[in-house]
Copies of this chain bind each other. A is one copy, B any other.
Amino acid sequence: MNAAKSKGIKSAKPADTALKSMAKPVNPSAKSKPAAKVPAKPALKSVKAAAKSVAKSVKPAVEAVQAMAAEALRPDKPKKMKRKAYEAEMRKLHEELVALQQWVVHKKMRVIVVFEGRDGAGKGGVIKSIMERVSPRIFRVVALPSPTEREKSQIYMQRYIQHFPAAGEIVIFDRSWYNRAGVERVMGFCTDEQAESFLKGVPLFERAMVDGGIILLKYWLEVSEDEQTKRLKDRIDDGRKIWKLSPMDLKSYSRWYDYSRARDAMFRATDNGFAPWFVANNDDVRRGRLNIISHLLAHVPHKKLPREKIKLPKRQKAHGYVEVDHDFKYIEEKF
């Protein structure tokens, strides 16, 4: 178990708590500021400035040492998974996801998978790795945009229900109806009363889904504060990710504890026997994805369908086909 996880959701294990307090100094701002402030006493502006610049120049080194120390303090923490190993494992899981897909079609099953978590928890990445090899007609991803004014005036569940699976479909919700208990509540897009009333109603609603024969899997992706910061910073710097950071994401970033409170209330109200929340630590995305897909595969009963041996047929004869004399516009082959 990763220590990182314990920062997000309290673990019952005392060993973890101990580890956590040891790991605390990792936070550089906590450590480096006092150091910088000591020489400030003489109250001379120039001295202060000098001190600041010293502190600044030293900061990276200090952080690096702290990081190494933290690493050392977590002897159980597995090292980052190597790409080769990751891909080999993922390949096996992809194969099994396809087997699941064929089974779901064959047995006319209906499955809903919900992914929730803070911004940057890695929902999109997990979903992308699930979708990589399966048919988008069987696995459907639903990531609804903000509701229109019209939709806002309808009953809350309406826009989600219309995407529910028909026979032989697996619908993956990239954020779901739990928006009301999460983003909407934290950002003030709904009142606390609306959120509470929503939470009271959800179990009834999910009970009906499950009783109606839908397999419902709910995943909460947990991310530590540090990792979230790192990922959101990435969205500022990496040209491929810049569109993923909205002003609202920034606001939401600042409200870490409001979000924690919202999450706790959500678990209290909706983590139950027939529709449990499964929590996945996703600070290490490679491990996270493999673990989640493994779990998913283990929780949707399926077998491998036998396949007939397929053989490619013979090609037809050319029967006088001659290549046309057309001035094809080939694209430039730069690579």
Write the residues of chain A forming the contact surface with B, with a CB cutoff of 8 angstroms: 1-2, 5, 9-12, 81, 89, 91, 94-95, 98-99, 101-102, 108, 110, 128, 132-137, 143, 145, 150-151, 153-158, 161-162, 164-168, 197, 201, 204, 208-209, 211-212, 214, 219, 225, 229, 232-233, 236, 238-245, 250-251, 253-258, 260-261, 264, 267-268, 271, 276-281, 286-287, 290-292, 294-295, 307, 310-319, 321, 323-335
Question: Which listed residue (B168, B307, B328) contacts A9, Cβ 8 A?
Answer: B328
Complex Cα spacing A312 to B231, Å: 11
Contacts of A155 in B (CB 8 A): 161, 164, 208-209, 212, 214
6 contacts between A and B (CB under 8 A): A2-B333, A9-B324, A102-B243, A154-B166, A250-B312, A258-B316
Give the residue name and chain of the B residue nearest to A238 (CB): B95
Contact of A10 among B267, B294, B325 (CB under 8 A): B325
Interchain CA distance A242-B162 in the complex, whole Å: 30
Chain B residues with CB under 8 A of A324:
9-10, 264, 267-268
Q: Give the Cβ gap from A221 to chain B, nearest Cβ, in Å.
A: 10
Neighbouring B residues of A278 by C-beta, 8 Å: 329-331
Copies in the complex: 4
Also in contact, A321 and B233, with CB within 8 A (given A153-B166, A294-B334): no
Q: Please, which residues of chain B bring their CB within 8 A of the CB of A211? A: 197
Q: Flag if A98 contacts B239 (CB, 8 Å).
A: yes
| B332 & A291 in contact (Cβ 8 Å cutoff) | yes
The CA-CA distance from A215 to B327 in the complex, in Å, is 22
Complex Cα–Cα for A255 and B167 (A): 32
Indicate whether A271 sits within 8 Å of B239 (C-beta atoms), given known contacts A250-B312, A321-B257, A335-B290. Answer: no
Given A281-B333, A291-B335, 20 extra CB contacts under 8 A: A10-B325, A11-B330, A91-B240, A98-B243, A101-B243, A110-B154, A137-B145, A153-B166, A154-B165, A161-B162, A197-B211, A233-B312, A250-B312, A253-B312, A254-B315, A257-B319, A267-B326, A271-B328, A291-B331, A294-B334
In the bound complex, CA of A334 to CA of B89 (Å) = 11
Give the shortest distance, in Å, between A156 (CB) and chain B (any CB): 7
Bound complex: CA of A8 vs CA of B239, how far in Å? Answer: 37
Distance from A253 Cβ to chain B, minimum over Cβ atoms (Å)? 6
Q: How far, in angstroms, from A168 to B150 measured CA to CA in the complex?
A: 10
CB contacts (< 8 Å) of A204 on chain B: these are 204, 208
**Which residues of B sit under 8 angstroms from A136, Cβ to Cβ?**
143
Please indicate the chain B residues that have their CB under 8 angstroms from the CB of A137 in the complex: 145
- Assuming the contacts A133-B240, A328-B267, A333-B291, asked whether A315 and B167 have C-beta atoms less than 8 A apart, the reply is no
Question: Which of B151, B157, B258, B313 is in CB contact (< 8 Å) with A166?
Answer: B151
Take A257-B317, A268-B326 as given contacts and tell me if A156 and B334 are in contact as well, using a CB distance cutoff of 8 Å: no
